[in-house]
Structure 1
Amino acid sequence: MIKKIFHLLLVTALFFSAWIAVNDLFSMSFLSPSDLIGCETACSSLHESSIGILYGIPLSLLGFMGLLVFWILRIRGFDKAGFLIVSAMVGAELYLILLQFFYFREFCSSCLIFAAMVFMIYALTLVQDFFLKPPVLIRELPLKLFPAFVFMLVLHMVLFPPFFPERILAEGLPICLTEKKSGSDLLRIEVFVSPDCPYCEAAVSYLSSIFYEKNLKASIRIKHVGLNVQSRRMAIENVAMGIYGDLSSAALKMAECYIMQNEKELAEIQGGQLQTPMIRLVRDDDVRFFTGWTARNQDQIAEILGALMPDRGRPAGTADWFHNRLPSGDTVLCPSTGTPSGSGVCGF
């Protein structure tokens, strides 16, 4: 009975992993696992990240191949070799779940379902190899479990640097951070930007110039996002250089996680869309959101800032300077989407 359950579970896991691998390889929208399971954003982000790919091969495909090899070895009678394979997969799944829990802070449902299947296969393998074969060598069990934890540490060294930096970057990469006195910010400005958005450059430059000669208890922080694969890659490199000063594998993976967190936050604010620039003004309990660098948003932001800085040399309401930073005309080309935009935003 246990052997039948074991093989049924193994076949189910093989079909499930093959389904995920095919979608990862060919980006098939039909019957996508993320759509059916209901974790489209989290699943897509994790599967498309560098963590989801090892040496150019999707982890979903490696999982399918690992299970297939394990099954063949069991059928051929190479139980010890098969046990090492499934132990390695358990170690890998444990590590990837820890990454999702402690670092990405979101979960891929398809990944967790596959992990649960692997854990059950591992448990049934233990039952068949150690508890149904006399004599029961309980004292050897810890030694048999050791390969899983060894592989977990090995995978950690291969996929990721052996540390979790304290700088989780939750507040964003600071730009033009003023010299602050004691106490909290009087005003916090957060700007979600993509690297190839001319409106973003104009908004950040304008807002930064406001505090250039003013020691106000305020901070401007930009939060990088990517609107497509190309702009995400550029954003990751910008953040890696801005924070760590290099483009090492560790720096790029840290920056990638930061970008994913920002994209998730922006999607929640905009109801699933990604449009930049998105400006968030936080003052005490008052939070204002402005999507796009339009004339109306410029006037409203200038009015808020003008009330806080009435003694500025140049009136805060003057927004003509903005238009000089864009190409001629009211319509500019957003490289992220490849289409002209006259609404003050780039994105979808």
Structure 2
Amino acid sequence: MAANRRPTLADVAREVGVSAKTVSRVLNEDGPASAETRQQVLAAVAKLGFQPNLMARNIRVGGPDTTIGLVIPDLGNPFFGAVARSIEDTVRERGLTLLMGSSADDPARERDLTDKFLARRVSVLMVVPSVGADHSHLKAHRTRGLPVVFLDRPGAGLSTDSVVSSNRTGAHEGVAHLVAHGHRRIGFVGDLPTKLYTRRERLAGYREALREAGIPYDRSLVANAHDQHGASLVTSQLLGLDDPPTALFAGNNIVALGTVTELARSKRKDVALVTFDDVELAEALEPALTVVAQDAEDIGRAAATTALARLDGDRSRARTITVPTRLIIRGSGERPAPRGGNGPGR
């Protein structure tokens, strides 16, 4: 068997010296087989790294299933939903079907989902890595030819293809836009956990923009939240500082919703706002929301195209594809800094 090919039912049968039908009976516990044969089959399965195909329990299917397994953090997040739709649209042309599950950003849950997808013998595995997850368990599958693609964030413990946004550059551009409108007290409302790759990159872009403008980094202007309610609370805390920010940069679409909610509740029309990620109905707000938009469609398409190229035999080195972001000016980020102070109405 070639080293870069995933083992099949026929490979196991050849290793043991029995028929494929016998191997199938052992694995599916679906017919007579001696204890010795059963032991030999299971030993060959372990030796070859064979993953039984739960999607097709007949001996005619020895290769990968015609599915792609996708693990994302949150099925309800519009960004990941758009990425998934783009992947599905791209692979459908090749007769592949997308299977999807949510990890809730939990490494154990992510591992469980990837194991289940591997048991189904998916043709491609795509993962948005959870913070703290170790992906070294995928090395053997990757070596045998399974295309593995990380989305949105790099993985750990495995060198493979990744598709990410230009997080640092995008955040830098958004904060520099606020600086250009006279703001020097700029708050950052980021995601949790703080070790999250996208959060770290966007905070780095925020700090770079401040440094380039000669504005000292002020830790008191950095807050974190993982949901809309939490973002609303920390926004309120930032606005309540003795020397509050005159502008805010929200680190993602979920955080942005909480920030917008608090600005509306507190009637703070003087505070400028730029968010990372576009938000549904952003143009319907008053003023409309200035955003650093990720291209979810391009991210999904790039991931799918990369995976399909691997299926077609591309054995080049693993690469990281960075999809550019785009600053969309709509009004909320163009509010000028108040003259002579940072408080409301000054």
Q: TM-score normalized by structure 1?
A: 0.28
Q: TM-score normalized by structure 2?
A: 0.28
Choose between structure 1 and 2 for higher RCO, CA contacts under 8 A separated by at least 6 residues: 2
> Of Structure 1 and Structure 2, which has the larger fraction of its residues in helix?
1
